[in-house]
Amino acid sequence: MDLREKVGLLIDDMPSMRTTVRMQLASIGLEKCDQASTVKEAIDKLTAKHYDLIVCDYNLGKGTDGQQFLELVRRRHILPMTTAFLMITGETGYQQVSTAAEYSPDDYLLKPFTADTLGVRLSRIFDRKEALEPVYKHLGAKIDYTKALAACDEAIEVKSRYTLEVLRIKGDLLLAKGRATDALALYEGVLQERATPWAEVGKANALIAYGNPDEARSLLEQALVAYPNYLAAYDALADLLVKTDKFAAQQVVDQALHVASTTQRQRELGALALANKDYERAEGAFKIAVERDRTGFFKSHDDYAGLTRSYVEQDKIQDALAAVKDMSTHFQRTPELAARQAALESQVHVRAGDEKNAKAALAKAQAAQKSAKLDINTMLEIAQACFANGQPDDAKKIIQDVAENYQEDEKVLDSIRTVFEVAGLEDEGALLLDDTKKRMIRLNNEAVALAKSGELDKAIMMLVEAADRLPNNAQVAINAAQAVLARVQSIGADMTQIAQAHRYITQAIKANPLHPKLDAVVAFYRKLAPTGARPLEI
Amino acid sequence: MEILLAAAIHDAKNALNSLGVWLDKAQQECGGQSAALNQAKAVTATISGQLVELLALYRAGEGNLRMAVEDQHLEDFMGDLMAELSATRTADAADGATVQSIETDFAAAREIDAWAFDAYLVKFVLLDALRNALRHARHKIHFSIAAEPGGGIRFSIADDGAGYPDSILRAESTAKMTAESSGLGLSFARVIAERHATPAGRHGRVELANDGLGQGGARLSLILP
């Protein structure tokens, strides 16, 4: 393997270690190597330039580590799967890295190591990257599942030393696509040959998708007896339990935290403890989430919101106000931040009985809401503040909007339920969500009925209005595109309408790339679009 | 205690590493190969391995030994293992005779392809066993990997030495072993083997027998489920 053509990025906060590893890399032929000493610097470099290889130390100082960094860049798709990632760790870091659930490095190397060992490991990683390039190249921000699965099947057909790795990727793709039966067959096939933790968890997830949560639960519990450090099993079990038994879910997350205390899991524990009214535990978890990371890179507004609520519920008014204020020193000052702070502050004042300041802060949050586009959690925080201030109509207006837009996103709907729960209006929340759902179904049904009775134009008008109003509702966008295409089919192609259909399909892909009805409408578009029409990028 | 012990072992390992660097330097200065320095390097590697074992045993006793069970490509694993062994190998065997080579049979590794286990810990088990065999063998050592009938893999290390003393073989059949009677390496091997398990309830194990090479040489087998 010739490393001379490769470009590397070396990340370590210790200058002496950078020098040593840099020299080792040079001695095995990798001379083109940039360096970064902080997470921020590394992300800036990664965004600006393509690298073939990242060599990252586990310990990056200031409460940050290489595993957090890896998760961040993979989640944000800054680091393509075709780029190799090698983690360097001490013995303690090795346990954290090797048990990491969702994103793992291509390989890790325990200190101290020789240049020869480094060379052997890098060659191995690059060989694999090269062999699996046809698969990896499909696994970006936008995944074309059909192509990615076809690439997997081709790679499996060849049967190489990478077959297991490909099967693992294929299983993930099948699960993401909701193909539970195929995924189940794949994992059972693997497990017949060998016992391996990822296939156990994959099988459990397939069973959940298949509608068999009980068997999945016992499978995961058994897996954890054999593999008590396998974090993906805890995560899968917690995800499963959260729907039925939040106390049990909290226990599972707590156990996972004993294996590896990550910010993401502290956050999860905090949220569950809040839901379970275990405010002391919530306070502890959110405190760790906000205090550990001293760079501000890995924590979010939500962590401070959680901490504030934990304090408020325990009547620790001063601590709560301090937490809200603290956000200014850790995050960039954006309208988003100002709105979130104002909404939180307002709720603290309500609890303290300070009506005047509560109203003033709420007014500030509502003003921000009118002037800028805010994210869902900030919107819901403002709604929560409205409830607290005795303005339920304002709250419901905001929630209505979010619910219609994110009708198919269970996570968002769950957050909405929580807002109502905190406000003590659980039943009303269920009613509102139910009404919203029915209304969206009615809209779609009416449009279909109109189209069937020949009033296609009226149907299109209805759906287009809804799709423009609800940019994050994939179902509505798909129906709008479907209706427009139906007209194209009956009266012939018209470039304006083809472009309109293209726009709604793109909108749907953005809202939910995994929507089950997406494939059909994409095929319909491709069938009708004349040559020269914009192709669809999935 | 855990933190104190771990930190002390960590420091000791670092000190051994820098000792290794000094030994390399000394070897360069005396112009190449020095049997005495080679021996010294091998000893540092052995101590380093023992420290890892000690820490793992301590953690296991405290109930917080963490295992990272992952698919390991067996050919790569065997390659890494042999490279590490030869980098830190003593020249002398029992009776001052020289063990010519370690015969290996890794044909099954290709067939099995990959197996899930903790590579870091299992590597130390096997390195320790191989070093032990190198100490006791007269001329030959045989190291092999095979698929275990009924599921699992078996690593076997056989030598043509005098075999295990009766006390060790007998102790194996009783459930409780004491560190004194088995030695650190064997206790470590047993703990690591036992901690490898499958959801179906199968566990790893270590087998000792005097059916190795020659007339009653030792054989150690590590079976992973």
Contact A440, A404 (CB under 8 A): yes
Distance from CA of B62 to the nearest CA of A (A): 14
Contact A140, A477 (CB under 8 A): no
Sheet containing strand A84-89, strands side by side: A33-36, A8-11, A53-57, A84-89, A107-110
Q: What are phi and psi of A54, to 5 degrees?
A: -115, 125
Helix (H) or strand (E) holding A485: helix A474-491
Which of B19, B51, B71, B153 to probe by mutation at the A interface, max A CB count within 10 Å?
B71
Q: Do B66 and A196 touch (CB under 8 A)?
A: no
Angle, vertex CA B65, rays to CA A270 and CA A219, nearest 5: 65
Helix (H) or strand (E) holding A397: helix A392-405
Residues facing B153 on adjacent strands: B147, B224
When pLDDT is cut at 50, 70 and 90, the band that residue B94 belongs to is: very low
Are B39 and B18 contained in the same domain?
A: yes
CATH dotted code for A8-131:
3.40.50.2300
Q: Which chain A residue lies closest to B116 (C-alpha atoms)?
A: A196
Are B218 and B112 contained in the same domain?
A: yes
Distance CA(A28)–CA(A281), nearest Å, equals 50
- Chain A residues contacting B via beta carbons under 8 Å: 90-92, 94-95, 98-99, 110, 112, 116-117, 120, 124, 161, 163-164, 194-198, 200, 219, 222-223, 225-230, 259
Helix (H) or strand (E) holding A471: none
Contact A419, A387 (CB under 8 A): yes
Which of A116, A193, A227 to probe by mutation at the B interface, max B CB count within 10 Å?
A227
Residue B25 structural domain: 1-66
CATH value at residue B190 = 3.30.565.10
Q: For residue A259, list chain B residues with Cβ-Cβ distance below 8 A.
A: 66
Q: Do A99 and B66 touch (CB under 8 A)?
A: yes
- Number of domain units in chain B: 2
Nearest to B68 among A98, A195, A198 (CB): A98
Q: What are phi and psi of B69, to 5 degrees?
A: -85, 115
Q: Do A161 and B83 touch (CB under 8 A)?
A: no
Residues facing B157 on adjacent strands: B143, B220
Q: For residue A198, list chain B residues with Cβ-Cβ distance below 8 A.
A: 71
Average model confidence (pLDDT) across chain B? 85
- Of B66, B99, B120, the one marking the end of a domain is B66
Q: Topology of A453-528 in CATH?
A: 1.25.40
B150 Ramachandran zone, left/alpha/beta (phi>0; psi -120 to 50): left
Residue A263, token pair as written in the block: 């910010």
C-alpha A124: how far from chain center: 30
The size of the A-B interface in CB pairs under 8 A is 68
Q: Do A164 and B83 touch (CB under 8 A)?
A: no
Distance CA(B15)–CA(A54), nearest Å, equals 29
Are B74 and B45 contained in the same domain?
A: no
Are B169 and B195 contained in the same domain?
A: yes
When pLDDT is cut at 50, 70 and 90, the band that residue B7 belongs to is: confident
Nearest to B113 among A117, A164, A226 (CB): A164
The list of chain A residues with pLDDT below 70 reads: 1, 92, 101, 537-538
- The two domains A8-131 and A453-528 share their CATH topology (first three levels equal): no
Q: Do A99 and B68 touch (CB under 8 A)?
A: yes
Q: For residue A222, list chain B residues with Cβ-Cβ distance below 8 A.
A: 199
Contact A384, A351 (CB under 8 A): no
Which pLDDT tens digit goes with each residue over B106-144? 999 999 999 999 999 999 999 999 988 988 898 999 999
Nearest to A229 among B67, B116, B151 (CB): B67
Are B13 and B100 contained in the same domain?
A: no
A169 burial level (CB within 10 Å; 0-12, 13-18, 19+): buried
Are B81 and B183 contained in the same domain?
A: yes
- Per-residue HEC secondary structure of A321-335 comes to HHHHHHHHHHCCCCH
Tokens 């509102």 correspond to A432
Q: Quick check: helix, strand or coil at residue B159?
A: strand
- Of B35, B66, B97, the one marking the end of a domain is B66
Are B57 and B91 contained in the same domain?
A: no
What integer pLDDT is reported at residue B98 of this predicted model?
A: 63
Are B87 and B110 contained in the same domain?
A: yes
Distance CA(B99)–CA(B103), nearest Å, equals 11
Locate the domains of chain A by residue range.
Answer: 8-131, 453-528
If you count DSSP H runs as helices and E runs as strands, how many of each does chain B have, helices first? 7, 7
Which pLDDT tens digit goes with each residue over B142-195? 999 999 998 899 999 999 999 998 888 876 544 344 443 447 889 999 999 999
Q: Do A99 and B198 touch (CB under 8 A)?
A: no
Residue A284, token pair as written in the block: 């502890």
Q: For residue B83, list chain A residues with Cβ-Cβ distance below 8 A.
A: 116-117, 120
Distance from CA of A75 to the nearest CA of B (A): 22
Nearest to A94 among B10, B120, B202 (CB): B120
Number of neighbouring beta carbons within 10 Å of residue A314: 14
Q: Do A120 and B83 touch (CB under 8 A)?
A: yes
What integer pLDDT is reported at residue B93 of this predicted model?
A: 45
Q: What are phi and psi of B157, to 5 degrees?
A: -125, 115
What integer pLDDT is reported at residue B4 of this predicted model?
A: 83
Are B132 and B201 contained in the same domain?
A: yes
Average pLDDT score over residue span B90-105: 65
Nearest to B199 among A94, A164, A222 (CB): A222
- Of B66, B89, B121, the one marking the end of a domain is B66
Q: Look at residues A497, A511, A512 and name the one whose alpha carbon lies nearest to residue A464.
A: A497
Q: Look at residues A219, A224, A110 and name the one whose alpha carbon lies nearest to residue B67.
A: A224
Question: Which amino acid belongs to residue A259?
Answer: V
Are B161 and B204 contained in the same domain?
A: yes
Distance from CA of B18 to the nearest CA of A (A): 10
Distance CA(A412)–CA(B151), nearest Å, equals 45
Residues facing B72 on adjacent strands: B115
